[in-house]
Structures are given as structure tokens and as C-alpha cells.
Amino acid sequence: MTFEAEQAIREIQTHIFGIDGKMEFLTEPALKGFAFEARRLAENDLDNAVWRGIAEAADRRREILARYSTGSGVWYASVDVIRWDTSRHTGRTDSFVHERCNSKKEAEEAARRLLAENAKYFSAKNSVEAQLRQWQYRFSKTSCG
């Protein structure tokens, strides 16, 4: 990739994080209106692909919120081992494990097990962090159940 392309990606990434950040705290009804307006803006701007993508992201976020409230659908238990550089106040994921589960309850149980299995990596410089997620990763490891 060229230097120009790298710079453009970095700048665009900043804006994407901002868009995600704005949508993260919207309620389901707000996300529905947000997606509707983004589609309207896309249509008015020669079927602008960026606005269409924003609308799709809002729809996806709304679906996640709906599943989160019921606990149904596919969930992922994940554990990250993060190595911290205290001088720079930054962390880097050294390892990542996850499991696909059929419910929130199964994912909670799997996360506890993965956390216990990876606790040996905890140290003054490493944290071991468990999360429940509802989006699908591009790769798969194992399934619960």
C-alpha cells in the first residue's frame, strides 16, 4: 500500500470510530430513525455507498441491542491476553481465544471457563480480559454445547 493510501485509511479510521461511538449509545428507536435518515441521505446523494453503509451499521447495532435484551441468538465468549506498555500507556493483544455459543447463558459459562484456562497468563504486565460479544467473527474456533 502506498503512503498516500495509508494516510487516507488512518484518517478515515478516525471518522469511523467517531461514527461507531455516536451509534453505540443510541437506543433501538433512535437507531431505527438514524438508519432511515441515513438511507434517505444516501438516496439524495446519488445512492452514496458511505451513507448506505452507515444505515446498515445502525441496523446491525439495533439487532444486537434487541438480542442483548432477550439473550437469544448467537453469542461469543472471548478472552484477550493484553500486554501493557506502562511507559506509553498502551496495550497490545498477545493472544485471543473465543467460542461461538447458542445463547447468552452458554457464552457466560464459556467465558468463565476460558478465563480460568488463561488465568496463567496474568502478570504485572499482562491482563486477561473476558467479554461477551454478539457479532460474528471472520473465523471460528469452537462452539459451545
Task: Say if residue 79 is in the same domain as residue 104.
Answer: yes
Q: Do 137 and 94 fall within a single domain?
A: yes
Question: Residue 99 pairs with which residues in a beta bridge?
Answer: 77, 142
Reduced to 3 states (helix: H, G, I; strand: E, B; else coil), residue 38 is helix
Instruction: Mark whether 84 and 107 lie in a shared domain.
Output: yes
Q: What is the mean pLDDT of residues 9-30?
A: 91
Confirm if 80 and 95 have CB atoms less than 8 A apart.
yes
Mean pLDDT of the chain: 87
Question: Of 55, 70, 85, which one is at a domain's C-terminal end?
Answer: 70
Structural domains of the chain, count: 2
Same domain, 38 and 63: yes
Domain boundary among 18, 50, 70: 70
One domain for residues 81 and 132:
yes
Give the domain-ending residue among 17, 37, 70: 70
Query: 130, 119, 133, 120: which is closest to 79 by C-alpha?
Result: 130
Looking at the structure, tell me whether residues 92 and 36 fall in a common domain: no
Residue 137 · residue 76 · CB < 8 Å? yes
Same domain, yes or no: 55 and 110: no
pLDDT band of residue 64 (cuts 50, 70, 90) is confident
Q: Is the same domain home to 96 and 45?
A: no
Q: Does 88 share its domain with 63? A: no
**Amino acid letter for position 99:** E
CA angle 24, 18, 131 (to 5 degrees): 45
* Residues 56 and 83 occupy one common structural domain: no
| Contact of 121 with 128, CB cutoff 8 Å | yes
Q: Do residue 88 and residue 51 come from a single domain? A: no
The strand pairing partners of 143, in sequence order, are 100
Whole-model pTM: value is 0.54
How does pLDDT run across 105-138, given as a tens digit for each residue?
A: 999 999 999 999 999 999 999 999 999 887 644 4
Residue 118: domain span: 75-143
